[in-house]
Amino acid sequence: MEAVKQGSAAIGLRSKTHVVLACVNKAQSELSSHQRKIFKVDDHIGVAIAGLTADGRVLSRYMRSECINHSFTYESALPVGRLVVQLADKAQVCFLPFDFVLVVLVLGSSDFLLKLDFCLVVIGSSFGELWRDLETRDTPRSRRAKSLQILQTYCLTRVAGHYKINNSVEVCTQRSWKRPYGVGLLVGGLDESGAHLYYNCPSGNYFEYQAFAIGSRSQAAKTYMERKFETFDSASREELIKHALFAIKETLQGEKLKSSICTVAVLGVGEPFHVLDQQTVQELIKSFEVVEEEAPAPQEPSAAPEEAAAPAAEAAAAPMEE
Amino acid sequence: MDPNSRLVMEDSQRTLTPYVTGTSVIGIKYKDGVLIAADMGGSYGSTLRYKSVERLKAIGKHSLLGASGEISDFQELLRYLDGLILYDNMWDDGNSLGPKEVHSYLTRVMYNRRNKFNPLWNSLVLGGVKNGQKYLGTVNMIGVHYQDNHVATGFGNHLAIPILRDEWREDLSFEEGVRLLEKCMRVLIYRDRSAINKLQIAKITAEGVTISPPYSLKTFWEFSAFKNPTAGAEGSW
């Protein structure tokens, strides 16, 4: 979660027919190139990430393979909602930084006990439900005590794969080689039921949004979008992109918005997911700024540049809401 | 275990020949959706052994599957599809598998089994309506699949498709569609030895799937040539 908060900002917003993802691309130095934070997952799904971009790449590769497999078997686009659930489940299975041992009776057989924490990786997340249940009710210590008691009375049988179980019940619980995916994903997609925007946390939770922002200084963007989100549903493609650019501008806190530091991607009905090239973005920025510069002239010509950012956006909003 | 019996065991795990088979299935698109007809016969070789085999089954909310060929393989397919539809329903998220998806899935299954030299010995007709779009396709045991306005399996390809090519129109009403299908089924009853005069017609529209109860067509056997069949060549016994 912290990793997400420290990554550079990414925002997403949707209308009924389009989804726009945008992010701030800060290069490490003048000499280096920008990190890619927006990935195309399929013609109808794209993802913007914030946090550990390496983890983001791994997850977008997973998403791409899920989409392609679905396309191959069913010759149709994978509904975004299902992809997002599969992604969220992935977060649950892969990392288990919990200090307890869960013991479960396997259905149908005569009292097998399996040490489950990393068995989940092999057996599958169907036991995850039980496991999550226990987790919320007991404290780690009481869970451990209970499960150790049970372990002592039954003999443990095989656990697939990684490690052996000691009969002396010296079980290690935390794995040093496993950690959560440190990346937040804004998944935007289009399916039969319309355009969707989801946010997937490293915790495995996911939520659907009309508009959202993640990463550092995302609160400024969220504030802007909270003011405007009611118009998003029926906004046109151009208005949506404009709102996205303004939201990005908010996160820059006074720095000038240039196409070299931001990336914008669009997808919608009749328009497969694609990243807008720098020139297009620069032209869009220019066209929005022209309207913006007109507005403060009659209002606050002497305003300092940093302060002009907020009132300018506000003033610019007025003519555009017409 | 001697090596010979082992081979026999392996072979008996694969489908080599069909045993209880259904004959043709015919499907057409009409104005409001899709109509599919099949008779209710299950032949055991040359014997018309079973006379109440339902060869048309609804799949999910939007599709219907008709099968000819090995009946047990059809039942196996229904189990696969049951699992698929259940999994789809469990998502409970407003999305559902349409006929195109089911057809694609069946194609993958049939082709994969064929590649393992263990085919599901069926020719399938898959029809459905989703979001106002009509869909009619077919897959057979080697994985050949296509969509069209009218499809048929088995003998239907030879006897029914020519009729449909002449008489099918885009805007057939329900009654016209049924009449057209009955015309094709009648020819099959007369000329296909594995067909029986007991059939079902299924209708798939945006409202859903309905399969008619079994009924028979009127046939005419009073041709004068039938009255004295040996007139041309009297035998001594």
ipTM metric: 0.85
Q: Is pLDDT above 60 for A81?
A: yes
- For this structure, is B15 an active site residue? yes
pLDDT tens, residue by residue, A196-209? 999 999 888 999 99
Q: Is pLDDT above 70 for A305?
A: no
Site from B103, B104, B135 to mutate, A interface, most A CB atoms within 10 angstroms: B104
Q: Is pLDDT above 80 for B33?
A: yes
The pTM of this model reads 0.76
Averaged pLDDT score across all residues of chain B: 92
pLDDT tens, residue by residue, A185-195? 999 999 888 99
- State the smallest CA–CA distance between residue B202 and chain A in angstroms: 24
* Nearest by CB: A82 against B95, B103, B108: B95
Is A192 in Cβ contact with B101 (below 8 Å)? no
Q: Which residues of A touch B103 (CB under 8 A)?
A: 75
DSSP assignment letter at A37: -
Is A88 touching B (CB cutoff 8 A)? no
Q: Residue A51: which of A34, A30, A37, A32 has the closest Cα? A: A37
Instruction: Return the residue matching tokens 């196996």.
Output: B76
Mapped onto helix, strand or coil, the DSSP state of residue A214 is: strand
Averaged pLDDT score across all residues of chain A: 73
Is A82 touching B (CB cutoff 8 A)? yes
Q: Is pLDDT above 80 for A14?
A: yes
The mean per-residue pLDDT over the stretch B195-215 comes to 96
DSSP, residue by residue, A240-307: HHHHHHHHHHHHHTTSPP-TTSEEEEEEETTEEEEEPPHHHHHHHHHHHHHHHHHTHHHH-TT--HHH
* Nearest by CB: B93 against A72, A74, A81: A81
pLDDT confidence bin for A139, thresholds 50/70/90: low
Site from A73, A129, A208 to mutate, B interface, most B CB atoms within 10 angstroms: A73
Helix ranges (H only) for B64-140 are: 71-91, 99-115
The answer to whether the CB of A157 falls within 8 A of the CB of A112 is yes
The CA-atom distances, in angstroms, between A28 and each of A25, A58, A203 are 9, 21, 28
pLDDT confidence bin for A298, thresholds 50/70/90: very low
pLDDT confidence bin for B3, thresholds 50/70/90: low
The CA-atom distances, in angstroms, between A128 and each of A133, A207, B171 are 8, 20, 53
Q: Residue A231: which of A11, A15, A21 has the closest Cα? A: A15
- For residue A266 the two structure tokens come to 């669009």
* Nearest by CB: B108 against A73, A192, A193: A73
Which of A93-102, B20-29, B113-122 shows the lowest per-residue confidence on average (mean pLDDT)?
A: A93-102
Which residues contact residue A77 at a Cβ distance below 8 angstroms, ignoring those fewer than 6 apart?
A: A42, A43, A44, A45, A67, A70, A71, A191
Q: Which residues of B touch A72 (CB under 8 A)?
A: 108
Q: Is pLDDT above 80 for B160?
A: yes
Report which of residues A302 and A238 the model is more confident about.
A238
Q: Is pLDDT above 90 for A140?
A: no
Catalytic one among B15, B21, B107, B138? Answer: B15
Q: Is pLDDT above 70 for A168?
A: no
A211-240 per-residue burial string, b: 16 or more CB within 10 A, e: under 16: bbbbbebbebbbebbeebbeebeebeeebb
Which residues contact residue A309 at a Cβ distance below 8 angstroms, ignoring those fewer than 6 apart?
A: A249, A250, A253, A254
What CA dihedral angle connects B122, B123, B127 and B133, to 10 degrees? 120
Reported as type and span, the H/E element at residue A196 is strand A194-200
- State the smallest CA–CA distance between residue B86 and chain A in angstroms: 15
Site from A192, A196, A208 to mutate, B interface, most B CB atoms within 10 angstroms: A192
pLDDT confidence bin for A134, thresholds 50/70/90: very low
DSSP assignment letter at A229: G
- For residue A62 the two structure tokens come to 């997973």
Which residues contact residue A299 at a Cβ distance below 8 angstroms, ignoring those fewer than 6 apart?
A: A311, A315
Is A191 touching B (CB cutoff 8 A)? yes
User: Looking at residue A144, what is its pLDDT?
Assistant: 55
